[in-house]
């Protein structure tokens, strides 16, 4: 960018290379629609590393008050590892990049009364001035708009079991195919069809890496799923180099870094498996479908496994936040 020209007027912002070819052009409204917290704005101005965090995990992924406590602790983990957290949500129709503690608490208390907002819901929540918790797909879009290339969460959505009749595949997967943000997660919960999820990601052109010593693709509560990633990444620097290369060729697609849950926090395969099978059976019996499906299954698995799955969930989210912060730090060294 050192030799690039930035053209900016009231309508649009365009970046041209030294030959006058537009590398990027965006309407100004795309930037004007974002509101930044003071901490995030200062970090962006100072070109500090940032980590985007989603908010559906707060409203629909965990019960109150653990959701609030976890969201605050996750932000702290990001700071302790040298990056600035940017939790993203829509408050009364306003996109907010970086939330105050009060805003996080409100969202945590609102829980499932907040709108679960994926790509298709974004404009609706804004137009109707609602409060929306952003899923992985919506958070990726907004993180990208804000110029934050690294994002940490628990688990991404995927292809649901029974896809052959329901055609239920998360918008997270298509978003990964079209938005260049690296998502650090603990893999995919086995409430989903993990094999088909990986096939879908391959079709979408998404690079899927295990962050660790083996190729095993993790299944959220457990360190293995029986499936493999296409590569393993062992250091933050290696991850940063992969992200930088993705940007260098302007792929416009995302990357999944799947971090296996810490050994000590991993759950017993059979116990989680039984809880998940029962939860899916109940959701079928109750005719749960569409955007209600994932929150229902998350809640039932939490209930059926007692506090255990919630404990594991919290541990893995924190680990993902620390990995993402380290990657963001190394990436900021590479691309600055």
Q: Which of these is catalytic: 54, 175, 318, 329? A: 54
171 binds ligand PSU (CB under 6 A): yes
168 binds Mn ion (CB under 5 A): yes
283 binds ligand PSU (CB under 6 A): no
175 binds ligand PSU (CB under 6 A): no
Tell me the sheet residues that pair with 12.
Answer: 27
**With respect to ligand PSU, which residue has the nearer C-beta, 81 or 134?**
134
Residue 65, preceding peptide bond in cis (omega within 30° of 0): yes
From the CB of 290, what's the least distance to Mn ion, in Å?
6
From the CB of 249, what's the least distance to ligand PSU, in Å?
26
Please say whether the beta carbons of 182 and 239 come within 8 A: yes
Q: Which of these is catalytic: 39, 116, 175, 189? A: 189
Residue 189 annotated as catalytic: yes
157 binds ligand PSU (CB under 6 A): yes
**With respect to ligand PSU, which residue has the nearer C-beta, 53 or 240?**
53
The C-alpha atoms of residue 160 and residue 168 are separated, in whole angstroms, by: 6
The C-alpha atoms of residue 308 and residue 166 are separated, in whole angstroms, by: 30
From the CB of 291, what's the least distance to Mn ion, in Å?
6
175 binds Mn ion (CB under 5 A): no
75 binds ligand PSU (CB under 6 A): no
Taking CB under 6 A as the binding criterion, the range among 50-58, 66-74, 264-272, 325-333 that sits at the site for ligand PSU is: 50-58
Q: What is the helix, strand, coil percentage profile of the chain, to 5? A: 50, 20, 30
Residue 54 annotated as catalytic: yes
Please say whether the beta carbons of 187 and 153 come within 8 A: no
* 253 burial via Cβ count (<10 Å: 0-12, 13-18, 19+): middle
300 binds ligand PSU (CB under 6 A): no
The set of residues, in sequence order, having a beta carbon less than 8 Å from that of 254 and lying 6+ positions away, is 140, 175, 176, 177, 179, 180, 181, 182, 183, 206, 207
Q: Kindly tell me which residue out of 49, 98, 132, 154 binds ligand PSU, with binding defined by CB under 6 A.
A: 154
The phi and psi torsions of 21 (rounded to 5 degrees) equal: -85, 130
Given Mn ion, ligand PSU, none, residue 155, with its beta carbon under 5 to 8 Å by kind, binds ligand PSU
**Within 191-250, which residues bind ligand PSU (CB under 6 A)?**
220
**With respect to ligand PSU, which residue has the nearer C-beta, 121 or 330?**
121
From the CB of 220, what's the least distance to ligand PSU, in Å?
6
Provide the H-helix boundaries in 117-228: 122-127, 136-146, 163-166, 171-178, 194-203
* 85 burial via Cβ count (<10 Å: 0-12, 13-18, 19+): buried
**With respect to ligand PSU, which residue has the nearer C-beta, 135 or 332?**
135
Task: Please provide the DSSP assignment of 313-333 as one string.
Answer: HHHHHHHHHHHHHHHHHHHHH
172 binds ligand PSU (CB under 6 A): yes
Taking CB under 6 A as the binding criterion, the range among 20-28, 52-60, 198-206, 266-274 that sits at the site for ligand PSU is: 52-60
Provide the H-helix boundaries in 111-189: 122-127, 136-146, 163-166, 171-178
The C-alpha atoms of residue 84 and residue 36 are separated, in whole angstroms, by: 13
Interacting residues with ligand PSU (CB under 6 A): 54, 56-57, 60-61, 118, 135-136, 154-155, 157, 170-172, 189, 220, 291, 294, 298
Q: Which residues are catalytic?
A: 54, 189
> Which residues of the shown chain bind Mn ion in the complex (CB under 5 A)?
168
């Amino acid at each position: 960018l050192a030799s690039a020209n930035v053209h900016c007027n009231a309508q649009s912002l365009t970046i041209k290379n030294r030959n006058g070819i537009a590398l990027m052009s965006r309407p100004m409204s795309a930037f004007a629609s974002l509101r930044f917290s003071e901490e995030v704005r200062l970090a962006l101005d100072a070109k500090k590393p940032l980590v985007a965090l989603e908010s559906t995990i707060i409203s629909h992924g965990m019960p109150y008050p653990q959701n609030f406590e976890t969201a605050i602790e996750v932000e702290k983990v990001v700071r302790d590892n040298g990056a600035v957290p940017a939790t993203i949500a829509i408050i009364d129709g306003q996109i907010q990049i970086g939330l105050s503690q009060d805003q996080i608490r409100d969202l945590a208390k609102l829980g499932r009364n907040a709108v679960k907002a994926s790509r298709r819901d974004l404009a609706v929540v804004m137009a109707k001035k609602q409060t929306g918790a952003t899923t992985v797909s919506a958070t990726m879009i907004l993180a990208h708009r804000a110029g934050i290339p690294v994002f940490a969460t628990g688990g991404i959505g995927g292809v649901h079991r029974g896809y052959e009749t329901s055609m239920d595949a998360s918008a997270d997967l298509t978003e990964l195919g079209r938005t260049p943000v690296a998502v650090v997660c603990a893999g995919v919960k086995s409430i989903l069809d993990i094999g088909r999820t990986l096939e879908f990601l391959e079709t979408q052109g998404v690079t899927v890496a295990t962050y660790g010593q083996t190729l095993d693709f993790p299944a959220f509560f457990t360190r293995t799923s029986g499936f493999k990633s296409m590569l393993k990444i062992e250091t933050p620097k290696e991850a940063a180099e992969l992200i930088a290369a993705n940007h260098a060729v302007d792929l416009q697609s995302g990357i999944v870094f799947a971090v296996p849950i810490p050994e000590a926090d991993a759950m017993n395969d059979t116990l989680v498996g039984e809880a998940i099978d029962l939860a899916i059976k109940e959701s079928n019996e109750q005719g749960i479908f569409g955007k209600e499906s994932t929150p229902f299954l998350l809640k039932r698995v939490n209930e059926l496994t007692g506090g255990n799955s919630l404990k594991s969930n919290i541990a893995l989210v924190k680990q993902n936040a620390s990995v993402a912060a380290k990657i963001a730090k190394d990436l900021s060294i590479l691309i600055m």
